[in-house]
Structure 1
Amino acid sequence: MSEPFDLLVIGGGINGAGIARDAAGRGLSVLLCEQGDLGSATSSASTKLIHGGLRYLEQYAFRLVREALAERERLLAIAPHIVWPLRFVLPRDTGLRPAWMLRVGLFLYDNLSALRTLPGSHAVRLSGTSLGAPLQARLTEGFAYSDCWVEDSRLVVLNAMDAGERGADIRTRTRAVSARREDGLWRASLSDGTEARARILVNASGPWVSETLSGTLSLNSRAAVRLVKGSHIVTRRLYAGDHAYILQQPDRRIVFAIPYERDFTLIGTTDVAHAGAPGPVEISEEETRYLLTCVNRAFAKRVEPGDMVWSYAGLRPLYDDAAANASAVTRDYVLDIDAPEGEAPVLSVFGGKLTTYRRLAEHVLERLGPHLPEHGPAWTGTAPLPGGDMPKGFSDFLAGFRSRYPFLPEATALRLARAYGTRAARFLDGAAALSDLGEDFGGGLARAEVDYLIAAEWARTPEDILWRRSKLGLHVPPETQARLAAHLGGQG
């Protein structure tokens, strides 16, 4: 059997991928196993925002908001291709939060972080303006503030890619069947038929965190996970402009309406307690009605079920803080470590969010420091993610990208620059025409890109490519899936 890994990470969502990247970059040996595709559960079912969490201020979660705002700036710097600024419009709705409360909240939001490159908040007039044009006439005033958009599932993949390039062993579609402590190490049986030994086990299995503890590891934990389902709908584009709306609701929740994939609007999210086992979930009719009711309270043109083109849902593995309402459960994370004297430690991650994954990974390495061999210092705060090495920013990179590949249609050039950044050159260089990229599967998806995703990004199924490595599933003709399946079936 090979030498033991320093870390065995169970779970290939954003937290697991981030921890693997951080550890590998410090010179530690890492094995990450993920039972499905990277980011195939919670991490690809988000609202796709990198944000401080404006509404968390009402819960006095100042530490979480401060940390998230600082991380927002760092992620914008290290991944400018998949993270970009987004302006939000918050209409003031009579009978809900008063104007003074919104002003105070936004003032805090603007000033809680010492790092800030995004524009601050300010009051805006809605009546008679382009910002108010899609809204009902009663919404005459509001506020504007800044946060960021992120391609969530790509954020996971890029962290895993960087981890792999720094020496980590990344195994997708590989489940940790069982693991036990033996001779001061963890000995794990994996579904690929192999065994692995590790000095430390990190349980970053998201919705399965408790199941992994009690089932795979046969351990108990003082911490518990609380599963909350969040669902989203996607409609045909509801309004012009690149701004998003944050809509207050009578139940004190907020719902976002966000420009999505050029032709659509993303609406979400819900917060519904999930009492069942972790696994795939779907939006319910009640959640669909709720989201449609939310947007129809604000938009002048009524949105009907027939306007929907897609929906998705995921389970948030929140730390159970015993809050009565699912919306009030903390979005902060808890790291629970079990390290009996003389035994191999296990650290379990409860909760967390996309925005703070990088800092969470640093905290994990800090907590595990006394149990690890000598390793390097924290480093991920300034190191670009794959494709994000753009010293002059994304706009300058995009201009050069279009000049370098003039044969690409404008929409395709933007999509590839956003998805891959500087890594796009790995499958585009040498091409002088679209035909040089091979078969077009539809929607501008060429064989060269597909083969790159197979070779470099662990893509194995049409769903991996059309819904996680991209959102081309919204744009391609129906036959694309079958053609992709045939191509993928012929690989290897």
Structure 2
Amino acid sequence: MTQSKQRQQALAPLARSEPWDMLIIGGGITGAGIAREAARRGLAVLLIEQKDFAWGTSSRSSKMVHGGLRYIASGDYKTTLLSVRERERMLTEADGLVNEMHYVMPHYKGKFPPPWIFNTLLRVYDRIAGKRYFKYFKKDAFLRLNPNIKQDKFLGASQFSDAVTDDSRLVMRVLDEAIHDGAQAINYLKAESLITNEQGLVVGATLKDTASKDSDQTYNVYAKVVVSATGAWADTLRMQASNETEQSFHKQIRPSRGSHLVVSQERLPTSQAYTFLHPTDKRAVFVFPWENRTVLGTTDLDHPPLDDQEVGITNEEVDYLLDATNGLFDDTDLNREDVIS
């Protein structure tokens, strides 16, 4: 079968004469999850994605499935409760795709957080999960297992557990389940504009085939419900639905960028995740193993107005992550030449 015929076959569901029960715009984890739940309820579902499935945030996360430990510290117990339950559910239902990973927080004299505060939080965290993950390592015991860590004023380390995943594979797993239950999913279809009825209600979208740069083919697709699962791009469709001008439109999304670096295990061997506070701004930073590599992350910066292009890391972010990592490990001295991606 030629590539052209394959594409025609992929686009065949767009010829449906009846309105879809649900049109989902966005092929990340949110869109995939909505599609699965809707299809399981017997709805006629079409999901579209302007590029590859999981192209946006859902293939660029920190790969962590966490229970929201930081929310306890801010007093948001409810969010932690929900997050921990979801983490435990995913560990059970997606074994092999979502896996438990140990995290350690090294403690240093005079540095926040002191062991007693952090360990109290971890005990609450474990109680929510209904399992005991927490361990405390005294100085000598921890250094035998982690000889490269900075030793000056080191007191000990607290260990807890969360989970790690391959985020894009997780999206494909959920999307495959949605398709198995009857949903249709087509990538390289961009929602160019929304279709509204006489009452101003959104009843569909005009879709453009972006698989070929030479193609101007568009399709008008109608649905009883249109869901925008476009993440950081959500305001673009919201503005169309509101019929407001760009000047008068009240944006709800504040785009931010979290960048990561990947280095080889040979340069920075890790068998568990380290979490610590950056010496400059006291933000939490992680160093963790993933796919036989070591990942350093993440930054958290306001991002310029979004377009459909690739997002890149800045020189300042590279320095920020290298400085944090070199400050935790003695004699590591990572530099730009060590960065794989």
TM-score normalised per structure 1:
0.59
How far apart are 1:168 and its partner, in Å?
Answer: 0.8
The one-letter code sitting in structure 2 at the alignment partner of 1:306 is E
Q: In the alignment, what sits opposite 1:289? A: 319
- The alignment status of 1:233 with 2:273, answered yes or no, reads no
How far apart are 1:241 and its partner, in Å?
Answer: 5.0
Q: In the alignment, what sits opposite 2:150? A: 136
Match for 1:163 among 166, 169, 178? 178
How far apart are 1:143 and its partner, in Å?
Answer: 0.4
Residue aligned with 1:210, SS: helix
Match for 2:271 among 239, 242, 254? 242
Q: Over the residues paired in the alignment, what is the CA RMSD in angstroms?
A: 2.0
- The alignment status of 1:13 with 2:28, answered yes or no, reads yes
Q: In the alignment, what sits opposite 1:337? A: none
How far apart are 1:132 and its partner, in Å?
Answer: 2.6
How far apart are 1:109 and its partner, in Å?
Answer: 1.4
Over 3 Å counting, the alpha-carbon distance change for 1:293 and 1:241 in structure 2 is: closer
Match for 2:205 among 188, 191, 194? 188
Over 3 Å counting, the alpha-carbon distance change for 1:221 and 1:31 in structure 2 is: farther
The one-letter code sitting in structure 2 at the alignment partner of 1:297 is G
The one-letter code sitting in structure 2 at the alignment partner of 1:29 is A
Residues 270-325 of structure 1 show CA distances to partners (whole Å, capped at 9, x for unaligned) of 00111322442111110110001111111012222221111xxxxxxxxxxxxxxx
Q: In the alignment, what sits opposite 2:3? A: none
Over 3 Å counting, the alpha-carbon distance change for 1:189 and 1:151 in structure 2 is: same
In structure 2, list runs of 5 or more residues that go unmatched.
1-15, 210-217
Q: In the alignment, what sits opposite 1:471? A: none
Q: In the alignment, what sits opposite 1:302? A: 333
Q: In the alignment, what sits opposite 1:78? A: 93
The one-letter code sitting in structure 1 at the alignment partner of 2:208 is S
Over 3 Å counting, the alpha-carbon distance change for 1:173 and 1:126 in structure 2 is: farther
Rounded to whole Å, the distance in 1 between the matches of 2:139 and 2:334 is 20
Q: In the alignment, what sits opposite 1:27? A: 42
Rounded to whole Å, the distance in 1 between the matches of 2:24 and 2:41 is 15
Alignment of 1:305-324 (within 5 A): 305-310=336-341
Q: In the alignment, what sits opposite 2:116? A: 100
Residue aligned with 1:106, SS: helix
- The alignment status of 1:214 with 2:278, answered yes or no, reads no
How far apart are 1:57 and its partner, in Å?
Answer: 2.4
Which piece of structure 1 moves more, 209-218 or 12-21?
A: 209-218
The one-letter code sitting in structure 1 at the alignment partner of 2:313 is I
TM-score normalised per structure 2:
0.84
Residue aligned with 1:23, SS: helix
Alignment of 1:451-466 (within 5 A): none
Rounded to whole Å, the distance in 2 between the matches of 1:93 and 1:249 is 13
How far apart are 1:152 and its partner, in Å?
Answer: 0.3
Q: In the alignment, what sits opposite 2:305? A: 276
1:127–1:137 contact (8 Å) kept in structure 2: no
Which piece of structure 1 moves more, 135-144 or 175-184?
A: 175-184
Paired residues in the alignment total 306
- The alignment status of 1:124 with 2:133, answered yes or no, reads no
Aligned residues: percent identity?
34
Rounded to whole Å, the distance in 2 between the matches of 1:212 and 1:289 is 36
Rounded to whole Å, the distance in 2 between the matches of 1:44 and 1:187 is 27
Rounded to whole Å, the distance in 1 between the matches of 2:147 and 2:227 is 50
Q: In the alignment, what sits opposite 1:111? A: 127
Rounded to whole Å, the distance in 2 between the matches of 1:151 and 1:212 is 29
Q: In the alignment, what sits opposite 2:13? A: none
